[in-house]
Structure 1
Amino acid sequence: MKIMVIGATGIIGGAVARSLGERHEVLSVSRSGPLRADIGEPESVDALFDEVGHVDAVVCCAASGAMSPLDTPTDDRYWTGLDAKLIGQVNLVRRAVQRVRDGGSITLTSGRFTEPVSGSSLGFLINAGLEAFVHSAALEMPRGLRLNVVSPGWVRETLQLLGMDPADGTPAAAVAAVYVDAVEGDVHGRTLPVPGR
Structure 2
Amino acid sequence: MKILIVGGNGTIGKVVANHFKNDHEVLIAGRTSGDVTVNIAESSSITAMFEKTGKLDAIICIAGEAKWAPFQELSEEDYYIGLKSKLMGQVNLVRIGQKYLNEGGSITLTTGILADDPVIKTASASMVNGGIHSFAQAASLEIENGIRLNVVSSGMVEDAYEKYKSYFPGHNPIPMSKVINGYARSVLGKGNGEIIRIYS
TM-score by length of 1: 0.91
Partner of 1:179: 183
Give secondary structure in 2 for the equivalent of 1:173: helix
Partner of 1:130: 132
- Per-residue CA deviation, residues 42-68 of structure 1 (Å, 9 max, x unaligned), is 111111001111100000001332323
Determine if contact 1:157/1:166 at 8 Å carries over to the other structure: no
- Per-residue CA deviation, residues 79-125 of structure 1 (Å, 9 max, x unaligned), is 32221111110011000110010000000011113633322222221
Give secondary structure in 2 for the equivalent of 1:148: strand
Give secondary structure in 1 for the equivalent of 2:71: coil
Q: 1:151 to 1:162 in 2, by over 3 A?
A: closer
Mean CA deviation greater in 114-123 or 29-38:
114-123
Partner of 2:82: 81
Determine if contact 1:102/1:143 at 8 Å carries over to the other structure: yes
Determine if contact 1:40/1:87 at 8 Å carries over to the other structure: yes
Determine if contact 2:110/2:152 at 8 Å carries over to the other structure: yes
Determine if contact 2:40/2:46 at 8 Å carries over to the other structure: yes
- Aligned-partner Cα distance in 1 for 2:100–2:123: 34
Determine if contact 1:16/1:177 at 8 Å carries over to the other structure: no
- Aligned-partner Cα distance in 2 for 1:192–1:179: 9
Q: What residue identity is the alignment partner of 2:57?
A: D
TM-score by length of 2: 0.90
- Per-residue CA deviation, residues 141-195 of structure 1 (Å, 9 max, x unaligned), is 1111000011111011111245769982112232122101110110101100115
Mean CA deviation greater in 2-11 or 30-39:
30-39
- Aligned-partner Cα distance in 2 for 1:97–1:40: 17
Q: Identity of aligned pairs, percent?
A: 35
Partner of 1:148: 150
- Aligned-partner Cα distance in 2 for 1:12–1:73: 27
Determine if contact 1:107/1:183 at 8 Å carries over to the other structure: yes
Q: What residue identity is the alignment partner of 2:17?
A: A
| Alpha-carbon RMSD | 2.0
Partner of 1:28: 28
- Aligned-partner Cα distance in 1 for 2:165–2:185: 30
